[in-house]
Structure 1
Amino acid sequence: MNIYDIKVPKSSGEDYSLKEYKGKPMLIVNTATKCGLSNQFDNLEKLYQEYKEDGLVVLGFPSDQFRQELKSAEEAAEACRVSYGVTFPMHGIVDVNGKNAHPLFRYLTENSKGFLGSSIKWNFTKFLVDQEGNVVGRYAPKDQPESFEKDINKVLAKNEN
């Protein structure tokens, strides 16, 4: 199985395949609108605006496993748009850990190890996936998006070759 075989829920509830992004680098983030780290939405949006013409896709996946998300995916997506100006795709609320973890987050954690093992420790864990679907970076919740911009540029440089 590769990342493009995985279907994910839109905030509206309908599923689509990540093969829609085949050939594009993806920055995948588990989010929560009521989290103290939610100021990262601003920086994620800045990265998206700066690099989307180069092919970068930022994908937000709300999760309530840490009890910091709104009741519905639609509410979460709207809060991101209104409060933070988010224009990158936001998705349905998913579990990121445990037996009910969404297949995407199982794939991401199995293909990258965090500081304390493979499970996701908190909201705003970020995964950088290259154009071929390989997980090439995992960043901690407190890592601000601009702190790994050089890694994004390396992945985008592959597009030019």
Structure 2
Amino acid sequence: MIRFLFAAVLILSAQAGLAKGISGTFPSIDGGTLSVEAWRGQPVLVVNTASQCGFTPQYAALQTVWDRYRDAGLVVLAIPSDDFNQELASAAEVKEFCDLNYGLDMPMTDITHVKGSKAHDFYRQVRAETGFVPRWNFNKVLIAPDGSVAETWGSSVKPDSRQITRAIEAYLN
């Protein structure tokens, strides 16, 4: 009987942890904070970005996806990172670069670590749930409305590709 109760407690604890989902609070590039939990119930496409990368033109596709799906409930979160040594020196420079070159108006964090021992807790949770770690800039993570990781993609998969938009559309109203 004790073994049964212990097993039941372990199962319920695991289920409670899964129900919680991926979480994280980031400093916003505009000041204040951005909380993944605030978007629970909506799909969230999270992309680690860099301003001086061969994939930087994907910012335009990210803005297109944001424009196309935000009214249906999608959140696109750009996370500038210098973990691959291709980001500008300050958040202010990143914001200016993105405004001038891409007209970005999606939520964006301050410069954040996405891999290694300094990785933001969000990315640690993604790794723990899926094994996924960004291997370069412009890796994508789709968080389902329940907070679980729905899918991940590498840099070469464009944000507006059918592969990604099909996954997003599955979670929209």
TM-score tier after normalising by the smaller chain length:
0.7 to 0.9
Residue 3 of structure 1, CA deviation: 4.8
1:151 corresponds to which residue? 167
1:141 corresponds to which residue? 155
8 Å Cα contact 1:77-1:91 kept in structure 2 = no
2:87 corresponds to which letter in structure 1? E
Question: 1:34-84 CA distances to partner (integer Å, 9 max, x unpaired)?
Answer: 111011000010010000000000000000011100111121122112101
Residue 17 of structure 1, CA deviation: 2.7
8 Å Cα contact 2:45-2:140 kept in structure 1 = yes
TM-score by length of 2: 0.82
Q: Determine if the alignment matches structure 1 residue 119 to structure 2 residue 133.
A: yes
Q: Determine if the alignment matches structure 1 residue 67 to structure 2 residue 82.
A: no
Which residues of structure 1 form unaligned runs of 5+?
A: none
C-alpha separation between the residues in 1 aligned to 2:170 and 2:103? 27
Q: How does 1:70-149 map to 2 (within 5 A)?
A: 70-113=88-131, 118-147=132-161, 148-149=164-165
C-alpha separation between the residues in 2 aligned to 1:13 and 1:31? 18
CA spacing shift, 1:36–1:78, aligned 2, 3 Å: same
8 Å Cα contact 1:4-1:133 kept in structure 2 = yes
C-alpha separation between the residues in 1 aligned to 2:129 and 2:96? 31
1:146 corresponds to which letter in structure 2? D
| Corresponding residue pairs, total | 153
> If you compute each CA radius of gyration, which structure gives the higher value, 1 or 2?
2
8 Å Cα contact 1:30-1:62 kept in structure 2 = yes
2:98 corresponds to which letter in structure 1? C
1:93 corresponds to which letter in structure 2? I
8 Å Cα contact 2:48-2:138 kept in structure 1 = yes
TM-score by length of 1: 0.88
* Cα-Cα RMSD: 1.6
Q: Identity rate of aligned residues, in percent? A: 35
2:134 corresponds to which letter in structure 1? I
Residue 24 of structure 1, CA deviation: 1.2
Residue 19 of structure 1, CA deviation: 2.0
C-alpha separation between the residues in 1 aligned to 2:96 and 2:22? 27
